[in-house]
Amino acid sequence: MAKNSFFECEHCGYKSRKWLGKCPDCGSWNSFIEVKEQSKKINKRSLASNLSSPKPINKINSAEYSRIDTGIEEFNRVLGGGFVPGSLTLLGGEPGIGKSTLMLQISNNIAVKGQVLYFSGEESPSQIKLRAERIGSINQNILLSGEVVLENIVEQIKSVNPLFVVIDSIQTMFSSELTSAPGTVSQIREVTTRLLFEAKNSGIPVLIIGHITKEGAIAGPKTLEHIVDTVLYFEGDRFQSRRLIRAIKNRFGSTNELGLFEMTSKGLLPVGNPSEFFIGERPDDTTGSAIVCAVEGTRALLVELQALVTESAFGTPRRMAIGIDINRLHLLLAIIEKRLDYLIGRDDVYINVAGGLTINEPSVDLGIAFAVVSSFLNKPLDKHTVFIGEIGLSGEIRSVSAINQRLNEAANLGFKKAIIPDTREKIDSKVNRKIELIKVKSLKQAFDLVF
């Protein structure tokens, strides 16, 4: 190895002076590549001139952002109202899930107000035009470029001075000042950092697209989350039509918002009523099906929970959960067996959140318990009843937040009954007139009223 080089892990960026077979940080094998060090001279005089003196916090002017509307309400919701000038946004997701399609639609909407510069290192401009024609996103203010060299990209941004910039994708861009290959950790960090400085200096919002696997193993987005202002993740199965966008990090808005889209031949269409979308395919008189209400950011969502309890063919029962935490399922099964005397511990239990949504809040505990016992007893639940409540270890039903918002969403979709915690929180009188409320203090009391 040359004296002016080192070895770097392609997956996590761990550096070592010698080659290693296994990365001590991420555990990947044969992932170290040799990278030559770059000797850069720092101009101390120019660096000192850029330093600002500290000021009292009460004398610093608060910045007011005039956001750029994306033209898609669901995407604006996740961002917090639109793109902030000078911000750097990362959109991560699996290959083929629809990131480029969504960015073309957003670029077409923004191009009505000004020029959009779209850099594509994966597809040629002619390929992008074919997709744009298919989804109806043809606008002369969308400028396509196949440039992948960072220095040339920065020059084009300065010369065009667009309203919005898209980098598709960050894994294909590279700096000529580094000797490592495109897609490596060092290249991705260097390109992203330079784009961040360019966005802040010019006030132009920049969005970069990064590919990840289901495990998040590719080095792109995971190593950039601390650099960018906003991190968005595109979720969903590319073989189905549903798509979800979550904000993992957002310096200019909430990180709890959720955007829901449907993939069609004309591109991604926002879903105006997510609750109806998630429970629209619910079958009638089916055991193991319960409706719960979860809150994502400022939005209440009605979701169907499906449970299947079958006799185990082996000595050790199997547990599987899709859309909820498997450890939460184990905990609830233990509570059900202890407090209700249902011998579920010897059976296989499967739980699924219909629609591909992931729910992490404990307000769906009551719905999970009813779905499991419904399948275990082979008795269907009332299709017009919604279940809301957290279950404690002693079998008590605990209160949840935003109860009025949840009940109002259920009432608007035609639900007649709601089993909720016996909480001291005041229920809105308008909600009381729309839906029958059944307040319970314990899990046993709830099951005695239903079964």
Q: Residues at the annotated binding site for ATP? A: 93-100
Residue 444 sits at φ, ψ, to 5 deg, of: -65, -40
Residue whose tokens read 């909407």: 109
Given CA atoms 127, 129, 132, 133 in this order, what sign does their dihedral have?
negative
> In this structure, which amino acid lies at residue 219?
A
User: Cis (ω within 30 of 0) for the bond into 169?
Assistant: yes
The residues, ordered by sequence, that sit 6+ positions from 433 with a Cβ below 8 Å of its Cβ are none
Binding-site annotation: residue ranges: 93-100
Residue that the structure tokens 């002693």 belong to: 394
Strand order from edge to edge, sheet including 267-270: 142-145, 116-120, 164-168, 206-211, 88-93, 230-235, 242-250, 258-264, 267-270
Is residue 188 a contact partner of residue 180, using CB atoms and an 8 Å limit?
no
Residue found under tokens 């916090």: 57
> Distance (Å, rounded) from C-alpha 144 to C-alpha 139?
11
**C-beta atoms surrounding 201 within 10 Å:** 10
Report which secondary-structure segment, H or E, holds 407.
Answer: helix 403-412
The contacts of residue 64 (CB under 8 Å, 6+ apart) are none
